[in-house]
Structure 1
Amino acid sequence: MDRPLKTIWAVILAAGAGTRLAGAAGGVAKQYLEHRGAPLFWHSARTFSRVAGVRGLVFVFPQGDVAAMEKRVSQFFRSENLGLDWAVCAGGARRQDSVAHGLAALPPGCDGVLVHDSARPFVSARTITLLIDALHRGERAVVPAIQVPDTIKRAATDESGTEGVVQTLDRAELRAVQTPQAFATGLLREAHALASADGWDVTDDASMVERMAAHAPGAGIRVAIIPGEPGNIKITTAEDLKRLAEARATIPCVGWGYDVHRFGTEGDRPLVLGGVPVPGGPTIVAHSDGDVLLHALADAVLGTFGGGDIGTHFPDTDARFAGADSGVLLREILAMAEATGVRLVQADLTIITQIPKIAPHAGAIAVNAARLLGLPVDRVNVKATTEESLGFTGRKQGIKAVAVVSALREV
């Protein structure tokens, strides 16, 4: 039975000392390492912002860095507004202490939480979406995991100091677990309280829930698994640093989108452009919310990787998409683009209509479109024009929009 959660936040752990990597990284803690012009923790923040359902982020930094990092995160949000609430808090001596501090910083009413290591900057929106879907289905603890390809042996050292094999484990039963890990907030808080009371020392939060389940075998507590991704690696060793500088071919690509909607009568859908309601505008005849600009933008994004058109993915014959928020549909398409290696660079959007006047709303539309795309607002251009009373738009019968998106695709 589905039990949708109301409010889901992510805790991004960036409080580690990174001692194993310090020498190779020039003394820089790995969460602060730069990749494509941004520190690793911000790459994770961007990915979370592209997943519908994530409402906010808690960044956990070392105690001595909190003041400086709060200013830095604020600067990031000013230049690249992710459209999420956020908070910063100090970490603790151990990873589990940092998670506990992050849980304490969550807002009241947050009933779902994703805990993520910032040293995994390549996590995809798809993985996060699968985790959230599992929570909505009623799971209370979910982890992404991949099968272990190697034969794993348990070893021990004898009295002479020689290490030897004690047991060969069945790799068909083994999984390598990744982050983010998703939990019902109340369950994870209960697990942390039990860990603190009993003095547990664990390497991940799922381990706490596993121990909690062992303490209460009849409580129906379990840790579910969704498919992880081999590319969701953790930057831990000097060898891993090569992934940050890995040479890949990057090609420019362009997508073009066009959409039209007819004006309606009283009782049809209110006018929304780029996710921004336009008070006093004409109504729209549409199956979804009728956002002509976001529909054109979605088609343009699909064009950057040959993804077809919005009607293919979200047909107007499907009752599930009746009245659908076009911003949510666009985020789904952006996740598809990300999975193919597409990185958006610029968007140029044109609204073509006789009514209403678009100029008073253009700034708000640009800001919201930039938020949805994960771009700085100066890379999203919004303009409007009439057709000099010609055609159906000139006769005030409808509205249309054109979108052009520039992107880079890694192949």
Structure 2
Amino acid sequence: MSASGEVWAVLLAAGSGTRLAQAVGGVKKQFLEWKGFPLFWHSALTFSKTPAVKGIVFVFPPDQLEEMRSVVAGLDGADSLGMPFRVTAGGRRRQDSVFNGLNELPTGCTHVLVHDSARPFASAAMVTGIIDMLQSGMEAVIPAVEVTDTIKEVEGSVVSRTLVRSRLKAVQTPQGFSLPVLYAAHRQAEQEGWDVTDDASMVEMAGRDVHICAGEEGNVKITNPEDLKRIENTGRTIPCVGWGYDVHRYGEGRPMVLGGVPIPGGPQVIAHSDGDVLLHALSDAILGLFGGGDIGHHFPDTSAACENMSSGIILKEVMIKAEEAGVEIVHVDLTVIAQIPKLSPHRELIRKNIASVMGLEKEQVNVKATTEEKLGFTGEKKGIKAVAAVTGLKTFS
């Protein structure tokens, strides 16, 4: 085998999944749909996002081999891996399936990752860490996490001894190996009749050192019916921020309204809608939370329907869009920039009104006002502007 240093992955999807069969109508777990793709494809996509992995060997049930060749080709056409792949049939035991996969690896491969397709949550960062340790000279590297339960060894229904928990680890995949070392271990296992549950055990029995790296608590295996909840409800919630900006000129036009609150004695503003510069900036910021464009797109100033439209309506419309996009708004920070009028008498009412319209607590809304030290068009009392920063939580399914 060449010493080029190529790393390939063998992705095992040949199991029968008997423990889950009844719960999922006979569908093998590696073929269960999640986020629009079968489980095995999610692991393939993770490998494709890891630059050090150069290719993948898929191992499928022998009776579905030709069908799965077409399925993989179709998946790659829809969401390309951007790397070479091969498809082969599995064997009677897990170790037979792995050995079949090893025999499909190209001559340029020197290291291999063996991964169970029923672990779709493994991260690219963990895969990279395993490869780094292999390339530093280690022959076998496996991810593992702490064991939190006390483990008993039993005979029948009687405990024979309690194992020392500090010396125990729960092992995961992918497991990484020097290909010559793993291949030789499989040959020895075949000759001596070993029956193992993972490749690391085989390498250990062959007298080689197996090193541990940090696994991931989320890298769980879909095995039992209750595990299905992990793929039925795996939405991620991440923070998002939207920023908005708006400007209006002073002049004969519409009475000043800020945050839905009339400002008696304030300069009139020139605007197509009601000219509420603060709510316009706020609405733009909300659209920014989920990539929703800007209010000019949704409420163009060329539209007769938007003539004199209340900015409160605009705000409520964009809030509906945010909710449909899976965004929860948690904080609003607003700043009005103007030389005139003075906003301190109105600030708390504006804050209270915006909180009420948005269904937020008053503490979740902040309203500030400042001048630009008589500089620019606001300093020359020619207009008013506002900026808004909105923080939200977006849930991804």
Change over 3 Å in CA distance of 1:255–1:22 after alignment to 2? farther
- Identify the match of residue 222 of structure 2 among 235, 240, 245: 235
Q: Which runs of 4+ in 1 moved over 6 A?
A: none
Following superposition, the deviation at residue 77 of structure 1 comes to 1.0
Change over 3 Å in CA distance of 1:18–1:134 after alignment to 2? same
The letter of the residue matching 1:198 is E
Rounded to whole Å, the distance in 1 between the matches of 2:211 and 2:71 is 36
Could you say which residue in structure 2 is the equivalent of 1:155? 154
Could you say which residue in structure 1 is the equivalent of 2:212? 225
Following superposition, the deviation at residue 248 of structure 1 comes to 3.6
- Identify the match of residue 186 of structure 2 among 165, 179, 192: 192
CA contact (8 A) 1:11 1:58 kept: yes
Q: Which runs of 5+ in 1 are unaligned?
A: 158-162, 214-220, 257-302, 305-406
Could you say which residue in structure 2 is the equivalent of 1:76? 75
Could you say which residue in structure 2 is the equivalent of 1:55? 54
Change over 3 Å in CA distance of 1:5–1:123 after alignment to 2? farther
Could you say which residue in structure 1 is the equivalent of 2:144? 145
Following superposition, the deviation at residue 410 of structure 1 comes to 4.4
Q: SS of 2:212's equivalent?
A: strand
Rounded to whole Å, the distance in 2 between the matches of 1:248 and 1:82 is 24
Rounded to whole Å, the distance in 1 between the matches of 2:50 and 2:213 is 17
Rounded to whole Å, the distance in 1 between the matches of 2:164 and 2:396 is 37
Q: SS of 1:119's equivalent?
A: coil
CA contact (8 A) 2:235 2:395 kept: no
Pairing of 1:204-353 with structure 2 (within 5 A): 204-213=198-207, 221-246=208-233, 248=235, 250=237
Could you say which residue in structure 1 is the equivalent of 2:9? 10
CA contact (8 A) 2:112 2:177 kept: yes
Rounded to whole Å, the distance in 2 between the matches of 1:227 and 1:136 is 17
CA contact (8 A) 1:5 1:136 kept: no
The structure having more radius of gyration, on CA atoms, is: 2
Could you say which residue in structure 1 is the equivalent of 2:86? 87
Alignment TM-score, normalising by the size of structure 1:
0.58
Change over 3 Å in CA distance of 1:27–1:79 after alignment to 2? same
Q: Which runs of 5+ in 2 are unaligned?
A: 244-287, 290-392
CA contact (8 A) 1:5 1:135 kept: no
CA contact (8 A) 2:4 2:108 kept: no
| Greater relative contact order, per chain length (Cα 8 Å cut-off, separation 6+) | 1
Q: Does 1:165 align with 2:159?
A: yes
Rounded to whole Å, the distance in 2 between the matches of 1:251 and 1:241 is 23
The letter of the residue matching 2:197 is T
Change over 3 Å in CA distance of 1:255–1:202 after alignment to 2? farther
Rounded to whole Å, the distance in 2 between the matches of 1:103 and 1:169 is 35
Could you say which residue in structure 1 is the equivalent of 2:319? none
Rounded to whole Å, the distance in 1 between the matches of 2:211 and 2:23 is 36
Alignment TM-score, normalising by the size of structure 2:
0.60
Following superposition, the deviation at residue 249 of structure 1 comes to 5.8
Following superposition, the deviation at residue 254 of structure 1 comes to 8.1
Rounded to whole Å, the distance in 2 between the matches of 1:208 and 1:6 is 23
Rounded to whole Å, the distance in 1 between the matches of 2:238 and 2:140 is 40
Q: Does 1:64 align with 2:63?
A: yes
Rounded to whole Å, the distance in 1 between the matches of 2:237 and 2:168 is 36
| Residue-by-residue CA offset, 1:302-348 (whole Å, 9 max, x unaligned) | x99xxxxxxxxxxxxxxxxxxxxxxxxxxxxxxxxxxxxxxxxxxxx
| Residue-by-residue CA offset, 1:263-297 (whole Å, 9 max, x unaligned) | xxxxxxxxxxxxxxxxxxxxxxxxxxxxxxxxxxx
CA contact (8 A) 1:5 1:112 kept: no
